[in-house]
Amino acid sequence: MTTPGTPRVLYVIACAAPPARDVAVLVRLAQERGWEVCVITTPNARAFVDAPALEELTGHPVRSEYKRPGDADVLPAPTAIAVAPATVNTVIKWALGIADTLALGLLTEAIGKQLPVVAMPFTNRAQAAHPKFGRSIEELREWGVRVLYGPDVYELHEPGAGGDHVDAYPWHLLLPALEQTSRTSR
């Protein structure tokens, strides 16, 4: 939580799913609400985004790798995190405490720091059926992460059809959920 006068810094973590190519939508929505935004991608999601355009939009480099020991951090510390789109891979690894990428390291640390975090998965029916995915969502919720997932958020699609459903990804739900989480948690 921030104190009055302290900048609100939102880390937007994008995973390798088709909506990642439109992550600038979330960046702009957050900026309109007064957030300073930094974009972090998983290593595979880097290919989905237009990093130079996002860097121009945010004024910060898009990070996807850990910095080298001794290097100064180029991003301000986050006061909140939005994970969108979140993949099955990231959700399961996050719940298991695996921090083998910068994105996962930040997410596992966010729970310990008690930062407000909202995640919105994007996946297909077959991947969502994996038993560990549902359990991971429940565990993350138990730990204070707000996970926007279910038929009231968006309908799952068939495998291989994710690109056809990018426009249905509800970016607009993330910030109200995050701001509500910021007020009611921790």
The pLDDT of residue 99:
95
Asked whether the whole model's pTM tops 0.85, one would answer: yes
**CA dist., res. 182 & res. 80, Å (int):** 8
The pLDDT of residue 170:
96
Q: What is the pLDDT of residues 136-173, one digit of tens each?
A: 999 999 999 999 999 999 889 889 998 888 999 999 99
The pLDDT of residue 18:
96
Can you list the domains of the chain with their CATH numbers?
Answer: 9-66+76-178 (3.40.50.1950)
The pLDDT of residue 181:
81
The pLDDT of residue 102:
97
The pLDDT of residue 186:
42
Alpha helices in the chain (DSSP H): 24-32, 51-58, 88-96, 102-113, 125-128, 131-142, 174-184
Beta-strand relationship, 146-147 and 117-121: parallel
The pLDDT of residue 3:
55
**CA dist., res. 78 & res. 37, Å (int):** 9
**CA dist., res. 7 & res. 61, Å (int):** 18
**CA dist., res. 58 & res. 159, Å (int):** 33
**CA dist., res. 120 & res. 79, Å (int):** 18
The pLDDT of residue 38:
98
Count CB neighbours of 63 within 10 A.
Answer: 21
Query: In the chain, which stretches have pLDDT less than 70?
Result: 1-5, 183-186
